[in-house]
Amino acid sequence: MNRFSLNHATTKHWDVFEAVEACARAEIGIGLWREPVADKGLEATAARVRDSGVTVTSLCRGGFLTTGTREALDDNRRAIDEAATLGTSELVMVCGGLPSGSRDLDAARETVAEAIAELAPHAAASGVRLAIEPLHPMFASDRCVISTLDQALDLAERFPATTVGVVVDTYHIWWDPTVWSAIERARGRISSFQVADWSTPLPAGVLTGRAQLGDGVIDLRRFRHAADAAGYDGLVEVEIFNDALWARPGAEVLAETLKRYAEHVA
């Protein structure tokens, strides 16, 4: 269990201080989100993290770059700074969907590439890696025009592996017939390995359809073995957006998730 990290979004009822404290007690890592960090204050949260000794595996999230605006770039520079302050080297990037009114996927993808190029120097200087996360193709229009791991790698490989990495999230890529070679190709660039299970029917809007480990159809352990084989030796972040989980107390969700992790991932 010493590779387990709790993505804060899994236990929505905890504020970030409560989540950090719980992870410290359980001797596990944590994945943070910008909004709950801002709620408690960046410096105050960073101090809590340092005092607790908890490893921050990633900060969610930068991205939403397809508008190509200066505002978006500035916000991402702030996100890079926040990651550095919180002591994590990995900033998860959800790159954004099609700009309003556009049907031009190629253009949106090129805008993302240009924005990453603009952000890379500041990331490198800050010791923070931009972790490009391919999202499931069902999010291609409204959240992320980067849909496969190979596509994320095509983009990441334009930059040094220490500056731009990729997120391997089982929920988003489990269906991909080319996923195993893509994970091997990601060697040295895996910024974050995230796990959640896939089950149907999907809820309206599909965002909160991620399933508890073992409640779905993904061969999660095969993915962990593949990430291991590609040289990934960091923590494994569990990130589950699920209305039923969110309705339960954080401690109960964490206990169940640790158990499921042992059964299906470890």
| Residue with Cβ nearer a copy of itself (90 or 133) | 133
Q: Is 216 an interacting residue with respect to a copy of itself (CB under 8 A)?
A: yes
Q: Is 217 an interacting residue with respect to a copy of itself (CB under 8 A)?
A: yes
Tell me the per-residue interface mask from 183 to 202 with a copy of itself, x by CB under 8 A, - otherwise: ---------------xxxxx
Instruction: Record the tokens describing residue 91, joined without a space.
Output: 């900033």
| Residue with Cβ nearer a copy of itself (126 or 141) | 141
Minimum distance from residue 121 beta carbon to a copy of itself (Å): 26
Helix (H) or strand (E) holding 25: helix 16-26
Closest CA to 19 of 260, 238, 243: 238
Contact of 223 with 174, CB cutoff 8 Å: yes
Residues ≥6 apart with Cβ < 8 Å to 153? 166, 182, 185, 186, 189
Minimum distance from residue 196 beta carbon to a copy of itself (Å): 14
Applying CB under 8 A, the span of 41-49, 116-124, 213-221, 224-232 interacting with a copy of itself comes to 213-221
Tell me the per-residue interface mask from 104 to 133 with a copy of itself, x by CB under 8 A, - otherwise: xx---x------------------------
Q: Is 138 an interacting residue with respect to a copy of itself (CB under 8 A)?
A: yes
* Contact with a copy of itself (CB under 8 A) among 53, 70, 205, 233: 205
Contact of 99 with 67, CB cutoff 8 Å: yes
| Residue with Cβ nearer a copy of itself (91 or 153) | 153
Closest CA to 259 of 199, 207, 213: 213
Q: Is 255 an interacting residue with respect to a copy of itself (CB under 8 A)?
A: no
Which residues are bridge partners to 149 per DSSP? Answer: none
Contact of 101 with 132, CB cutoff 8 Å: no
CA 250 to chain CA centroid, Å, is 20
Q: Is 206 an interacting residue with respect to a copy of itself (CB under 8 A)?
A: yes
Q: Is 218 an interacting residue with respect to a copy of itself (CB under 8 A)?
A: yes
Applying CB under 8 A, the span of 21-29, 112-120, 212-220, 244-252 interacting with a copy of itself comes to 212-220
* Contact with a copy of itself (CB under 8 A) among 151, 228, 248, 251: 151
SS3 of 38, please? Answer: helix
Q: Is 175 an interacting residue with respect to a copy of itself (CB under 8 A)?
A: yes
Which residues are bridge partners to 30 per DSSP? Answer: 6, 56
Contact of 85 with 48, CB cutoff 8 Å: no
Amino acid at 252: E
d(CA 205, CA 209) in angstroms, rounded, equals: 9
Applying CB under 8 A, which residues contact a copy of itself?
98, 102-105, 109, 136-138, 140-142, 147-148, 151, 154, 174-177, 198-206, 216-219
